Structure 1
Amino acid sequence: MNKGQLIEEIAQKTSTKKEAQVILETTLEAIKNSLKENEPVAIAGFGTFKVKEKKARTGRNPKTGETIQIPAKKTIVFKPAKDLKELL
């Protein structure tokens, strides 16, 4: 499902596509802003998004076999809620 299909789905339960688009974009923007501030976002019955810091580590260039240093970085992780896991 892509963003357009998600807007269609929301629009079926609200009055218009435009309202659905505003609702979705506002929700996504709020999630992005919270993650930018390193605040987890928990949606009951769905799951939790949070920022995880990965430590710097040593890796290997697959083409040359050369050892390289991979810098530390932040990534976003999603942990599904129990209810969501049970659907699968």
Structure 2
Amino acid sequence: MNKLELIEKISEATDLPRSQAHKIVDIFFNSMAKALAQGERVEIRGLCSMFVKHYDEYIGRNPKTGKKVKIKPKKLPFFKAGKELKERVDMPNGVGS
């Protein structure tokens, strides 16, 4: 499912115009991205948690040349699936009770 399909599902399920459903989806994702950018943790119970991992500077290797290169410190978003999501994905047809 992509963003446009999600907007369509919300629009159909709530009888909202697509433009309003689009605003809701944008607010939702922008709020999560902003929280992560500020170093906050995002948790959606039953679905997932997202947080930012900090990586210190380290020495890596260029895979083509094998030459050592310095990798700058970085921050990357990390997604961890919740228990309920894992169980639902593992069920036949993805349908829970």
Aligned residues: 88
TM-score, normalised relative to structure 2:
0.85
1:13 equivalent in structure 2? 13
Instruction: Report deviation, 1:56.
Output: 1.6
1:25 equivalent in structure 2? 26
Which amino acid letter does the alignment assign opposite residue 52 of structure 2?
Answer: V
1:64 has 2:65 as partner: yes
1:51-82 Cα shifts (integer Å, max 9, x gaps): 11012211111111111111110000011110
Q: Secondary structure at the match of 1:74?
A: strand
Gapped regions of structure 1 (runs ≥ 5): none
Distance between the aligned counterparts of 1:80 and 1:63, measured in 2?
34
1:36 equivalent in structure 2? 37
Gapped regions of structure 2 (runs ≥ 5): 90-97
Amino-acid identity (%): 38
